[in-house]
């Protein structure tokens, strides 16, 4: 179109490529609340992967035909991110088998029930039929999954021994209960029943039911048949495959055991940290940070007059009842009230730290009973897009021994404000950024900001209680240890036991935390390095800007500059801050 500017043309191209890409993924469509292809699963065949590669190459070629110099500044940034994203996807095609498609953290076996139960909504007869269609599609979907596992086995990519009991048990649970046996309804069956019961019921306002009893009974019969003829054999075939693999699996845990594993890990670190730091550099940064944080903890130990050494102090913090609320309603209510008070105090101090503030409010809430057993201990749920539903900081109060009061302050700042709520609520309110940026994210940026946000309030006088400050340091220490252990396992041939011992010796956390963390490192190489590297980069950019600008440095403007583009690779954040420093200097 002649009347469009080059920037408008590029943004139209981004819109089209985003739509094209989700149109190829039924699960993405469902996740975004669309109704197309609701009865299908994603295509996970090697042919589809080759087709994706061809599309990415074509899109990159089309992108490069635009005139970069004719674009406005925001579109230039989108162009750079899109170009880099496509180049990385093209490069990563060669590593597409370098992962474990079924593991204890995530995988097709657990994605299926979670997708159906949490994402597949049933508001009409056709939605219900699509659900049954997905159940019937499970057998071919898992046949392809098993072929993909075989392709990995052929090149020596087999999960380590510890993974198998977890995933076999989880898979077995999905096909336990009715209609597979006489026990209470299995999770998927109970979900489907509840959803179609909703269609068969009359509305509160006298609205007619969407389906009659006969249609309801037919849907139930169709679902039962699909569960027995498709879901059950799909999971049984997967379990049999996993049992065969378990027999040949080893206890070598790192990706160094894979062909070209070292080269793969370098690429993984680059993707995760969005920097060029090497495994050796990251390992050393981790060791240095652990030593520094231990020193700060020793100072707190002196402050509170604790006589023995640091590891005895850590033990005291872990075991002493004074640091835990009672595991009853009163104890839980008190925890929530105190966390809410912390957030409210912080809300009153935001003007000292930010110029731009999100429109959406933030509330504190306990994780609901139906999911508190399995949910994480603290997380954030973003506000509705129009800002009418507030952001939520969820605290998991199922087991108060897992929620020491000395960590309350740092958790509230990380998940709430100035952490994820400031970052994500502002990102959602950004005008005119393409969808691929609105829905995208870079872990090093998002979690780097979260960890920086635990530290930031200390600079304006929060953490007045030394034990709370210890809690902040304990959480930072945990993230520093991750740098050491992740690189230790994947490049230094550390064993699972070496990793667990490092966490237990160096942190106040329970041994069970160390076990979970090490098992996460093993199946998600590099992922856990993002937090600390992201935080250190933000601090480094801040100190550089302070040194350059002197009295002209305004922390509020600095934070705005970090947040106002949404998530970026750290190298792009650095460019933006350097441009900002130059602009402030020019004005001075």
Q: What is the average pLDDT across 500-520? A: 93
Domain boundary among 437, 465, 493: 465
For all residues of the chain together, what is the average pLDDT?
95
Of 10-14, 307-311, 437-441, the least confident: 437-441
Are 79 and 123 part of one and the same domain? no
Q: Are residues 167 and 209 in the same domain?
A: yes
Q: What is the pLDDT of residue 341?
A: 97
Residue 438 has pLDDT above 90, yes or no: no
- For residues 480 and 297, the answer to whether their CB atoms sit within 8 Å is no
The answer to whether residue 583 is domain-embedded is: no
Based on the fold, state whether residues 112 and 240 are members of the same structural domain: yes
Assess whether pLDDT exceeds 90 at residue 174.
Answer: yes
Show which of 229, 251, 273 is a domain's final residue.
251
Per-residue pLDDT reduced to its tens digit, 94-120: 999 999 999 988 899 999 998 999 889
Are 416 and 343 in contact by the 8 Å Cβ rule? The answer is yes
Q: How high is the pLDDT of residue 1?
A: 62
- Residue pair 128/196 in contact by the 8 Å Cβ criterion: yes
Q: 153: part of which helix (H) or strand (E)?
A: helix 138-154
Q: Rounded CA gap, 10 and 64, in Å?
A: 10
Note the pLDDT of residue 173.
94
Convert 509-535 to b/e letters by CB count within 10 Å (16 or more is b).
beeebbbebbbbbbbbbbbbbbbbbbb
Query: Are residues 119 and 68 both part of a single domain?
Result: no
Q: What is the mean pLDDT of residues 455-465?
A: 97
Question: Do 117 and 79 sit in the same domain of this protein?
Answer: no
Q: Are residues 67 and 132 in the same domain?
A: no
Residue 176 domain flag: yes
Confidence of residue 432 (pLDDT cuts 50, 70, 90): confident
Number of compact structural domains in the chain: 3
Residue at 536 is within a domain: no
Domain end residue (candidates: 95, 121, 155): 95
Is pLDDT above 90 for 31? no
Q: In Å, how far are 18, 64, 286 from 23, measured between CA atoms?
A: 9, 23, 42
Q: How confident is the model at residue 518 (pLDDT cuts 50, 70, 90)?
A: very high
CA–CA separation, 588 vs 575, rounded Å? 20
The span from the CA of 37 to the CA of 24, in Å, is 9
Strands (E), 253-367: 362-366
Domain extent at residue 393:
319-465
Q: What is the pLDDT of residues 371-399, one digit of tens each?
A: 787 778 899 988 877 778 899 999 999 99
123 lies in the same domain as 234 = yes
- 420 pLDDT exceeds 80? yes
pLDDT per residue as tens digits for the range 36-47? 999 999 999 999
In a domain, 187, yes or no: yes
Kindly state whether residues 174 and 46 are assigned to the same domain. no
Is residue 331 domain-shared with residue 360, that is, in the same domain?
yes
Per-residue pLDDT, 352:
97
Structural domain contains residue 205: yes
- What pLDDT band is residue 440 in, cutting at 50, 70 and 90? confident
Q: What is the pLDDT of residue 283?
A: 99
Q: Which residues of 346-376 are buried (b: 16+ CB within 10 A; e: fewer)?
A: beeebeebbeebbebebbbebbeeeeeeeee
Check if the beta carbon of residue 109 is closer than 8 Å to that of residue 149: no
More confident position, 480 or 510: 480
* pLDDT, mean of residues 287-297: 98
pLDDT at 135 over 80: yes
Q: Cα(97)–Cα(152) distance, rounded to whole angstroms?
A: 6
Q: At residue 312, does pLDDT exceed 90? A: yes
In this structure, the answer to whether residues 124 and 235 fall within a common structural domain is: yes
Let me know whether 154 and 238 are in one domain: yes
Within a domain: 346: yes
- pLDDT: is 500 or 105 the higher one? 500
As a whole number of angstroms, the distance between CA 395 and CA 408 comes to 9
Strand order in the sheet with 378-381: 362-366, 391-395, 378-381
């Amino acid at each position: 179109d002649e009347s469009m500017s080059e920037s408008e043309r590029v943004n139209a191209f981004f819109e089209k490529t985003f739509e094209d890409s989700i149109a190829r993924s039924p699960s993405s469509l469902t996740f975004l609340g669309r109704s197309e292809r609701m009865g299908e699963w994603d295509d996970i065949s090697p042919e589809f992967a080759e087709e994706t590669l061809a599309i990415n190459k074509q899109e990159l070629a089309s992108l490069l035909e635009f005139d970069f110099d004719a674009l406005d500044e925001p579109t230039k940034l989108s162009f750079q991110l899109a170009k880099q994203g496509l180049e990385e996807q093209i490069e990563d095609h060669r590593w597409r088998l370098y992962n474990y498609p079924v593991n204890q953290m995530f995988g097709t076996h657990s994605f299926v029930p979670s997708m159906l139960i949490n994402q597949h909504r049933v508001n009409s007869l056709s939605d219900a039929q699509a659900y049954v269609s997905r159940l019937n599609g499970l057998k071919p979907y898992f046949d392809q999954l098993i072929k993909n596992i075989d392709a990995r086995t052929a090149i020596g990519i087999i999960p380590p021994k510890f993974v198998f009991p977890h995933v076999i048990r989880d898979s077995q649970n999905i096909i336990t209960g009715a209609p597979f046996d006489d026990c209470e309804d299995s999770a998927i069956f109970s979900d489907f029943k509840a959803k179609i019961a909703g269609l068969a019921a009359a509305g509160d306002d006298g609205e007619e039911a969407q389906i009659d009893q006969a249609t309801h009974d037919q849907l139930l019969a169709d679902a039962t048949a699909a569960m027995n003829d498709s879901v059950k054999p799909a999971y049984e075939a997967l379990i049999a495959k996993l049992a065969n693999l378990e027999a040949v699996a080893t206890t070598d845990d790192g990706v160094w055991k894979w062909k070209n594993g070292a080269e793969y890990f370098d690429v993984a670190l680059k993707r995760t940290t969005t920097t060029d730091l090497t495994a050796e550099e990251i390992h050393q940064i981790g060791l240095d940070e652990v030593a520094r944080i231990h020193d700060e903890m020793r100072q707190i130990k002196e402050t509170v007059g604790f006589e023995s050494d640091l590891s005895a102090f850590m033990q005291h913090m872990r075991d002493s009842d004074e640091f835990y609320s009672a595991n009853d309603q009163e104890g839980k209510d008190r925890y929530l009230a105190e966390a809410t008070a912390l957030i409210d105090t912080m809300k009153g101090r935001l003007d000292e730290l930010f110029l731009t503030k999100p429109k959406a409010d933030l509330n504190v809430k306990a994780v609901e009973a139906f999911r508190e057993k399995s949910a994480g201990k603290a997380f954030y749920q973003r506000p509705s897009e129009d800002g009418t539903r507030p952001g939520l900081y969820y605290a998991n109060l199922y087991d108060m021994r897992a929620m020491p009061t000395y960590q309350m302050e740092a958790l509230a700042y990380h998940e709430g404000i100035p952490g994820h709520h400031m970052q994500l609520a502002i990102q959602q309110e950004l005008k005119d950024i393409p969808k691929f940026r609105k829905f995208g994210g870079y872990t090093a940026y998002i979690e780097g900001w979260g960890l920086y946000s635990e530290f930031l309030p200390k600079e304006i006088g929060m953490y007045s209680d030394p034990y709370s400050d210890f809690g902040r340091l304990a959480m930072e220490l945990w993230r520093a240890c991750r740098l050491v252990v992740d690189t230790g396992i994947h490049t230094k041939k550390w064993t699972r036991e070496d990793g667990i011992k490092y966490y237990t010796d160096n942190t106040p956390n329970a041994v069970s935390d160390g076990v979970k963390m090490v098992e996460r490192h093993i199946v998600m190489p590099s992922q856990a390095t993002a937090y600390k590297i992201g935080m250190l980069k933000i601090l480094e950019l801040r100190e550089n800007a302070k040194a350059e600008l002197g009295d002209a440095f305004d922390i509020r403007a600095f934070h705005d500059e970090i947040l106002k583009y949404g998530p970026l690779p750290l190298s792009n954040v650095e460019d933006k801050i350097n441009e900002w420093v130059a602009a402030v200097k020019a004005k001075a």
